Amino acid sequence: MGPDAAYRRLLANGSRPHFIGYYCIVMGLQGRPWNDCRGKEKDDLRARFDAIVASVQADDSAVSLGIEAVLNEIGTGLRR
């Protein structure tokens, strides 16, 4: 399992998305310091992160967070 699949699973199970967390996973798996990435490489990582977050938000089987979880629990229906 690579960093993208691992982070997607983390989000699908209820963790809040945070770019630095994703960024640290990727850098750590490469054996690099968390702050070693700059420029185009960092921009590319941000694009990957945004795509992962969007795919999880579009996934109906993912765990809801915050107010959405409460609204779903009391049966108010789909996300507004």
How is residue 54 written in tokens?
Answer: 């969007």
Question: Structure pTM?
Answer: 0.73
Residue 20: what pLDDT?
Answer: 94
3-class DSSP state of 63:
coil
pLDDT in tens, 16-70: 899 999 999 999 999 999 889 999 999 999 999 999 999 988 876 666 666 666 7
Report how far residue 18's alpha carbon sits from residue 61's, in angstroms, rounded to the nearest whole number: 20
Cβ-based neighbour number of residue 49 at 10 Å: 20
Per cent of the chain over pLDDT 90 is 51
Cβ neighbors of 40 (< 8 A, separation 6 or more) are none
